[in-house]
Structure 1
Amino acid sequence: MKLQPESKKELTRIACGTAICTAVMWVIFAALHLVGWVKFDYTVVLGSLIGAAVAIGNFAGICLVCQKVIDEQDEKRRKATLQASYNVRMLLQAVWIIVAIGAPVFQPFAGVLPLLFPRVTIYYLQITGKYKPLAPAGPSVDVSVEDDPEPAPELEAEPRDEGGET
């Protein structure tokens, strides 16, 4: 399946933002290494690169599945596909977190932190106004209570006797 241009644009933005955040994390690790607080070595770089790849892959999975289910007519199948995709993506991230924490070739913090970078990128784009949700498809109609086209019929002056009382 080929990504649509808008999905490619958003995926590129997320990938660039994640790469920038990863580079900033490396600079922070290097600065903390200079003062002797953390060790900056291949475990930081390797963990952060794989963590960033998992984060970008997660977002790509969202793009692909959403694009796929748009054409699905059956709502139950659409919901099932979205739920299955969500479960698989969360499972893959959980597996990565366990591996990043447990394997000695990865620095745990550097491996897990990149999973948050797409969210940071989205927040940055929203704050700076570079990301704006799509406008509603139809024209907006302003409905006011005072704009009643027909006045309500007046009540009759005399009460009607319809029975029921004896």
Structure 2
Amino acid sequence: MKLQPESKKELLRIAGGTAFCTAIMWVLFAALHLVGWVKFDYTVVLGSLVGAAVAIGNFAGICFVVQKIIDEPDEKRRKATLQLSYNSRMLLQALWVVVAVAAPCFQPFASVLPLFFPRVTIYYLQITGKYKPLTLKAEPVDVSVEDDPEPADAQQSAPDEKGGET
């Protein structure tokens, strides 16, 4: 299945943002390594690369599934497919977290942090105005006083009637 141009554009933006955040993380790890707070070695680089790949793969999975079900006429099948996709993607991420923490070849924090980078990228795009969620365009409704076919009669109040203000 080939991604539609809009999905491909969003996926590339997420991949770019995730790569940028990963590079910033490496710089921070290197700076913290210089002062002796953390170790910056192959485990940081390897873990962050795999973590970024898992994060980008998760977003790509969203794109593919949504594109696949968009033409599905049966609402129950659409919901079931979306739920299965969500559960599978969350399970894959959870599995990655377990592997990243358990395996000595990955630095745990550097391996898990990239899972949040697509969300950071989306927030950045929203704040800068480069990403605006689609809004349904409503038909403009012209409601004006002139359109009223029969104007309401002015209220007649009796002088002895006490109501409202005193």
Q: TM-score, normalised by structure 1?
A: 0.86
Percentage of matched positions with identical amino acids: 78
The equivalences for 1:1-166 within 5 A come to 1-141=1-141, 149-151=148-150
* Cα shift at 1:149: 3.3
- 1:48-100 residue CA offsets vs partner (Å, 9 max, x unmatched): 00000000000000000001110000000000000000000000000000000
Identify if the C-alpha distance between structure 1 residues 150 and 117 changes in structure 2 by more than 3 Å, giving closer, same or farther: same
Relative to structure 1, the CA distance from residue 62 to residue 39 in structure 2 (aligned partners, 3 Å threshold; closer, same or farther) is same
Give the structure 2 partner of residue 164 of structure 1: none
How many corresponding residue pairs? Answer: 153
Q: Say which is worse superposed, 109-118 or 130-139, in terms of deviation.
A: 130-139
TM-superposition CA deviations, 1:15-73 (whole Å, max 9, x none)? 00000000000000000000000000000000000000000000000000001110000
Task: Summarize deviations over 1:86-136 as a string: whole Å, max 9, x none.
Answer: 000000000000000110000000000000000000000000000112242
Partner of 1:157: none
1:29–1:147 CA distance, 2 compared to 1 (3 A): farther
Gap runs ≥5 in structure 1: 155-166
Q: Take 1:137 and 1:3, find their aligned partners in 2: how far apart are those partners?
A: 25
Distance 1:32 1:76, change over 3 A: same
The alignment partner of 1:131 has SS state of coil
- SS of 1:7's partner is helix
Q: Quote the Cα distance in structure 2 between the aligned partners of 1:20 and 1:139.
A: 41
Which stretches in structure 2 are left out of the alignment for 5+ residues?
A: 154-166
Q: Distance in 2 between matches of 1:142 and 1:79?
A: 37
Change (3 A) 1:106 1:127: same
For residue 151 of structure 1, report the CA deviation from its aligned partner: 4.9
Q: Distance in 1 between matches of 2:143 and 2:43?
A: 60
Whole-angstrom CA distance in 2 between matches of 1:133 and 1:4: 17
Give the aligned residue type for 1:149: D
Distance in 2 between residues matched to 1:136 and 1:22, nearest whole Å: 35
